[in-house]
Amino acid sequence: MGLKIKRGDTVVVISGKEKGKRGEVERVEPAKGRVVVSGVNERTRHARPSQNNQEGLFTFEAPIHVSNVMIVDPDSGEPTRVGYRFTDSGEKIRVSKKSGKDIDG
């Protein structure tokens, strides 16, 4: 399953308890259809205290489903859908459906 979201994209969460939060995509898991967004869906794990981790707690961002995020329009800063177009040289680039601007460089 090909995803329209890549690592480094700025996305906004559109559903769930983290709705409205924005963050940068840190990791994409295309086989599972999930993405990890910085600052979103943080979880806490309990582990045995050690020399490095005195409290025994560590936090991390858990993956969320790709259908719960939308890429941010580079022009207006609002959530938008993603389309594709081909350049004259045949390169496929992502395009914002809302403004028509290119998402990729």
- pTM given for the model: 0.84
Q: What is the pLDDT of residues 57-74, one digit of tens each?
A: 889 999 999 999 999 998
Helix (H), strand (E), coil (C) string for the chain: CCCCCCCCCEEEECCCCCCCCEEEEEEEECCCCEEEECCCCEEEEECCCCCCCCCCEEEEECCEEHHHEEEECCCCCCEECEEEEECCCCCEEEEECCCCCECCC
- Which pLDDT score, from 0 to 100, does residue 105 have? 60
- Which pLDDT score, from 0 to 100, does residue 34 have? 96
* pLDDT, averaged across the chain: 92
